[in-house]
Amino acid sequence: MEEEIEVKISIPKTLYEKLVKEAEDTGFKDIREFIIYVLEQLVETSDFEGEVMSKEDEEKVKERLRALGYID
């Protein structure tokens, strides 16, 4: 597990409540886990010509293409 630091930020109350609700609806353990997930997605994901994916996703795609002999 990567080292973590504690940050204290204020966000609008209604946004917080929405996030809590969304975290519950999507089955996350707690709000903290959900916010980390959302931020990770934002940082890692790029929208390239309409293809929204993370570096990791792209690597997985290339791995499969290699395994199936489509690329060297």
Partner 1 sequence: MVRPHGGRLVNRVVSEKRRNALLEEAKELPQIEITYERLIDVMDIAHGVFSPLEGFMNQEDYIHVLYDMRLANDLPWTIPIILDVDPVEIDGVKEGDDIVLRYNEKPIAIMKVEEIYGWDKKEYARQVYKTTDPNHPGVAKTYNRKELLIGGIIDLLNEIRHPLENRILWPIETRVLFREKKWKTIVAFQTRNVPHRGHEYVQKAALTFADGLLIHPLIGWKKPGDYRDDVIFAAYETLIKYYYPKDVVVLAGLLMNMNYAGPREAIHHAIVRKNFGATHFIVGRDHAGVGDYYGPYEAWEIFEEFPDLGITPLFIRESFYCQKCGGMVNEKICPHEDEYRIRISGTKLRKMIMERKIPPEYMMRPEVAETILKFKDPFVH
Q: How far apart are CA 71 and CA 62, in angstroms?
A: 8
In single-letter form, the type of residue at position 63 comes to: E
Pick from 30, 39, 46, 71: which binds partner 1 (CB under 8 A)?
Answer: 71
Q: CB of residue 10 vs partner 1: minimum separation in angstroms? A: 27
21 part of the interface to partner 1, by CB under 8 A: no
- Helix 31-44 × helix 13-25 angle, to 10°: 90
When asked if residue 17 is in the footprint of partner 1 (CB under 8 A), the reply is no
Q: Does 12 bind partner 1 (CB under 8 A)?
A: no
Q: Does 4 bind partner 1 (CB under 8 A)?
A: no
Cα–Cα dist 20/72, whole Å: 46
